[in-house]
A = this chain, B = another copy of it.
Amino acid sequence: MSPVELTGEMLIGASDVFGSSGTFTGRDPRTGEDLKPVYGLGDRTEVEQAAGLAWDAFRSYRQTDGETRAAFLDRIAANLEAVTGELVTRVVTETGIAEPRVRGELARTVSQLRLFGRVLREGSWIGARIEPPLPDRKPLPRPDLRQRKIPLGPVAVFGASNFPLAFSVAGGDTASALAAGCPVIVKAHSSHPGTSEIVGRAIRAAVAESGLPEGVFSLLYGRGSKLGTALVADPRVRAVGFTGSRGGGLALAATAAARPVPIPVYAEMSSVNPVFLLPGALSDAPEDLGAAFVTSLTTGTGQLCTNPGLVFAVDSPALEIFLESAAASVSATPAAPMLSQSICSAFSEGVQRYAAHPAVQPVAAGGPGESIDAAGVTHLFTTTGSAFLADKSLHEEVFGAASLVVRIEDASALPLIVEALEGQLTATIHAGAADLHLAGQLLPELELKVGRIIFNGWPTGVDVGQAMVHGGPYPSTYDGRSTSVGTLAIERFLRPVAYQDLPEPLCPAGLDDANELGIFRQLDGTYGRA
């Protein structure tokens, strides 16, 4: 591909539209410098246009076969790889994320697109169920019944700031919605408009190269909540994917519920990702655990959804060693740019809240960041189990590299702690051989609170695969019945339909007697490829 020339335009189907509702620019969080070009903000008009095109496109796009959509996702991946150089440069400039991590995130993003391609080629995602007719059944004959899953319709995707590639324009929500057969309208995150435009143009090129209708993809820019609200309220939009703040997610959910026809909102909102250091594991290797914890805490300058914001451990000499080790690692961690000045300000406020809390003690702080505009300085604090239980404000997420180590008097208090927690994306248990009984007691309690439970590891680093769950009870997500990472994410954008006594010539692919697609399905209650 030739180099992408950034224009500041929205991509509305095949049209370039420079928004007329004001302008904004990206900004380098390392220097505070405004970045070219200027971006034009859209409003209701562009939402209307994009939604109209998306609905038109839906009628044919949803009928495309698995191979067509898989090849489309592969093309998006290839188009992104073809602009790796300028894309990586722009992401680094707009977000301050270090280049190796950006390259890793790009690899994850393209492999995610190809993973959904494999899901489509495999084909079992349609959830086919067939019950052959039983004309002689008493008291009533059984009709021929065939069930499959079909896509919901156009999906509004809100790009996240903290994963400018993997959870943004061509991220997990977009990949899973396109895989399901749903056109996508992305509202770009305003902290990385150039990244969004580069990725958006790569998707749009793939739409054209695949011969798909232009409305399969649009990219809009909007400031504040106005454009996003209009998008969620549009009758042609049928589901929402969002990763961001709790306030933002709840506002979209309220808009979606107030529509004449409500729609599902898959909003990932906040998570503190508690870590439980059980006594055996802690005394086995307190120093190593302390260092490894800080590595997880500071990954991405602490701005990952699965950042470990709370650590629970029984007061003990081993815990002191853990804290000393963690403190040394924190002190040795240089400040790094955060994603934006507003995220940096919110982080500083959260750190101040900890620092000013009478029951919270500082343990260590990382290197200062005088030379960085939006500097994220790592912080570690401690408090007690009773203080934690007494004050819900200590349960809240501080988005960034700050964590609170909670000293518990006795392991018997852990179930009470777990019960007091809000819903989380993850929980982590460090358990040695001596801790298995206690871990077994905690596990069922944690299952009620989280979407993923990690043993003897760290919550950051979400593997994109078939068995991942990146979701969890409210408020970690608005709808805890799903995942936003991994192949199960496709189910968010599907619903079942049954056909009774369907004439054979009208039978959709995958529901035919011969199973020409060779997919896994359920036939008369039995699973197989028959």
- Tell me the A residues contacting B by CB distance below 8 Å: 59, 63, 104, 107, 118, 122, 124, 129-131, 139-140, 142-143, 145-147, 150, 152-153, 253, 257, 261-262, 264, 423, 431, 436, 439-440, 443-444, 447-448, 450-457, 461, 463, 465-469, 471, 473-475, 478-483, 488, 494-503, 505-506, 520, 522, 524-525, 527
Residue of B466, B468, B499 touching A522 (CB-CB under 8 A): B466
Inter-chain contact A503/B466, CB cutoff 8 Å = no
B59–A457 CB distance below 8 A: no
Contact A423 B498 (CB under 8 A): no
- Name the B residues within 8 Å of A264 (CB-CB): 479, 481
A525 touching B466 in the complex, CB below 8 Å, given contacts A444-B63, A456-B501, A497-B447? yes
Query: By the criterion CB–CB under 8 Å, are A466 and B524 in contact?
Result: yes
Contacts of A505 in B (CB 8 A): 436, 440
Given A63-B444, A483-B496, A525-B122, A501 contacting B465 (CB threshold 8 A)? no
For residue A281, give the distance in angstroms from its CB to the closest CB of chain B: 11
Contact assessment for B443 and A506 in the assembled complex, using a CB-CB cutoff below 8 Å: yes
Give Cα distance in the complex from A505 to B435, angstroms: 12
Number of this chain's copies in the complex = 2
Contact B525 A453 (CB under 8 A): no
A315 to chain B, nearest CB (A): 25
Contact B482 A496 (CB under 8 A): yes
Contact of A131 with B436 at beta-carbon distance under 8 Å, contacts A456-B501, A502-B453, A525-B118 already known: no
Contacts of A59 in B (CB 8 A): 444
Q: Is the CB of A131 within 8 A of B466?
A: yes
A465 pairs with B142, CB closer than 8 A = yes
B147 and A503: CB pair below 8 A? no
Q: A431-B503, A483-B496 are in contact. Are A147 and B469 (CB under 8 A)?
A: yes
User: CA of A457 to CA of B135 in the docked complex: distance in angstroms?
Assistant: 14
Pairs A-B, 9 closest by C-beta atoms: A469-B498, A145-B467, A520-B527, A129-B467, A147-B467, A454-B500, A131-B467, A452-B498, A481-B495
The distance in angstroms between the C-alpha atoms of A443 and B107, with both chains bound, is: 41
Q: Do residues A506 and B474 form an inter-chain contact, with CB atoms below 8 A?
A: no
Q: Are A480 and B463 in contact (CB under 8 A)?
A: no
> A262-B478, A468-B145 given as contacts; is B496 within 8 A of A488 (CB)?
yes
The complex places the Cα of A164 from the Cα of B140 at a distance, in Å, of 20
CA distance A465 to B524 in the complex (A): 9
Complex interface: chain B residues within 8 A of A501 (CB):
454-457
- Closest B residue to A257 using CB positions: B257
Contacts A452-B498, A455-B500, A496-B451 given; does A439 touch B482 at CB 8 Å: no
